[in-house]
Amino acid sequence: RLDFKEFIFGTSVVLRGSLEQKAKLVFRVYDSNNDGAITKTELFNTVKHSIKSAKKIKHASTKQFKEDMGKAKASDLTKTLDELSKDRRIQLIVEEIFQEADENNNGAITPDEFVNFVKKHPESLLPISQLSCNFSLVPATISSSSSSSSSS
């Protein structure tokens, strides 16, 4: 259970933290049993739940997605999420991450290994890129507000 203090800390790290701080926070999310290592099962389950959540958000906001992105791009996003939600695709994503991140090939990713992976692949902390979605599917209003807020 997340208390208010943890929520504020997490929000602060996400908004203003260094890449390493963000990686450590994300590691804690992936390490669902809090044993200090991410297993393939934990990563698989986290990715699967993330995609499932993205599909729910997309489904609940279909009309807005179509208005913001256009019907064709909204349809492309649906197809991408449908493809990514297949267990075999998620397993491939997990295997690719482990192939690079599990430096000692022991079947688990440590916090240091995860931070090293994120330093090589900072885009892996962005939910959309984690799902292998095309950034052109992101509504222009989100893209422009993100870039204008990051430049201030």
Give residue 10's pLDDT. Answer: 67
CA 22 to chain centre: 12
What is the reported pLDDT for 136?
Answer: 37
CA-CA distances (angstroms) from residue 45 to 11, 33, 40, 97? 23, 12, 8, 14
pLDDT band at 55 (very low <50, low <70, confident <90, very high): confident
Quick one: pLDDT band at residue 99, thresholds 50, 70, 90? very high
Tens digits of residue pLDDT in 113-122: 999 999 999 8
**Mean pLDDT for the chain overall:** 75
Q: Which residue has 């297949």 as its token pair? A: 86
Average pLDDT score over residue span 66-79: 76
Instruction: Please name which of 78, 81, 67 lies closest in space to residue 139, comparing C-alpha atoms.
Output: 67
Residue of 37 and 8 predicted with greater confidence: 37
pLDDT score, position 13? 66
pLDDT of residue 142: 35
Q: With 60 as the cut, is the pLDDT of residue 40 above it? A: yes
